[in-house]
Structure 1
Amino acid sequence: MSGRQWPGSRFAPSQRAAVTDAGMALWAERTRLCRDLEAGASTECRIGAVGNDVNEWLTAEAVTWRHLLSVRPTATPAQLRMSLPGNRALVERGLEMVSVFDYERLDDECRRMLVAEPVGDYLFAVADIQMKVIDHERVLLEGPTVDGQFSVIDVRSPRVLEQAMSYWNAVLASAFGCGTERAEAVHLSERQERVVDLMQQGMTDEAVARHLRVSVRTVRSEVARILETLEVRSRFSAGFRLGRGEARTD
């Protein structure tokens, strides 16, 4: 990467305090809901999925969503490699999505992956609690432990939605676009930049070609030029040189 550094302390104490206060209020609502569920007295939410079924449930649910506000305090590179292609497909089908990650809890690889993501609106911010607000009417939160496994609760409550939006607004007040952190490591053409970004997300040459509406031959020609520009022999080395992780192909 170039000499640009990730900013070290770009969040004001007041921003952190606002997120903490709003997050605590939302967590108090979540705790109340979990108690009601465990007592069999909940009328505001249901358990959406438990443990290993959560990802499959979210995937099935997401095809019906029109609007998504998502807050994730942290993620691993493996989790992003799994979720980003799915998000990309949903956005391309029409989902309006804004996804926020806690800037300081992500490692450098995750930051680079989000910076390079070509589709979707991704932000860095201060974030304490994971949640999703669906279509301005539903809130997904961490649920109670069920048989030793985590769960997700699907909440339909004006009171909880209000708390969720207060938390969202506090998080958003500290946010900045991931794209503003893009590093200019070398002089590549605009299309070459796009090729690198898409390949870094695990796209094959064929998938990159479809996305850019060019031939596979053109993509491979661009890859060859990128390797020549960087003076490296492999895509792995190119990804490392650019600080964007490994560019892969099948």
Structure 2
Amino acid sequence: MSDRGRALVEVLTLFGLGSDADAVYRTMLRNPQAGIPQVADQLGWHVDQVRQALDELSRLSLVRPSWEVPGRYQAVAPQVGLAVLLSRQEAELRERQERVAASKVALERAIEEYAEIQRHQQYAGVEQLLGIDAIRGRIEALAHEARSEIMGFAPEGAQTPENMTASKPLDAEIMRRGVLLRTIYLDSITKDSSSMSYAQWLVEQGGEIRSIPVLPLRMIIYDRKVVMLPMDPENSTAGAVLLRGVGVVTALCELFERVWTSATPLGAAAGSTDDGLTPQEQAVLRLLAQGNTDEAVARKLGVSVRTGRRIVAGLAARLGAQSRFQAGVEAARRGWLDAAQQAPRADNVARASSHQANSPRDPVTTC
């Protein structure tokens, strides 16, 4: 093929011409008097294949019916046919540009209307979110707006496959933008391979992960300016609130930092007391001393009731106790309760931070 022929092929391809139509068009340009049978012979095709190519060329205005011979087609000169085709594509492009411009106007109007709705929904720095759709939508928007850091408590224990699948693209996009992601999970995730794989993936992407036996509630902090909390800590699906007040956000940032300091980095071995109590066992003793049932203990540890009871039974056996009451007495006699009460704990920190938020101190913009 000559350089001129190759140039024509490139031009026709740019205009969206298929390979069959391209071959027929160039054959007709070389042989203006050839009819459909002759074109088919020259190309070694069936006449139906040539007719299909002619249909495409006709739609593109590159062939026209002959004025002299009925049933024959004439190739339109490239400088004419391609100019018509170019004008058509330019018109389509202008139409698309107009639709894009109209879409931008509509989007700006929708954003303004949504912002107005949000302003009406907010009261004294508090915004309520009702339902999973509203919560997930707000999480996506806040994550997209985050610029420096997102901190969170994840107190559910083993993460569900659905939750990890939904979170992974969002987490990846956050860290790709250089936003620091710090999350504290329950120690119980170390017993779940899927949750651990996800946590390790977060670390590989640049996130920082730690764990602790018990967390007070689910919480997400965006850029130390906005905090999302569940309306009901026992049922995170019931709804959520967004808090923007400087005082309460400062206190909750302090809560996170204190719990972060006492939590164990992912993969590191947790320490134990002189009596051999693990952080999880210390947490169980605290929860039992507070009067929690086996079910409540298991839920706060993020484990099954069966596992929670096994931990309680193990402690009772080590204490040589036959009942909860006897176990409590013996634990107090050995000083285990004192050790457990003195250990860093998220619930004490939460109460201290809550008091701090309500104390008459000078407000600060960040924590």
- Give the TM-score normalised by structure 1: 0.49
From the two aligned structures, give the one with the greater helix fraction: 2
The structure showing larger relative contact order (alpha-carbon pairs under 8 Å, at least 6 residues apart) is 1
**TM-score, normalized by length of structure 2?**
0.34
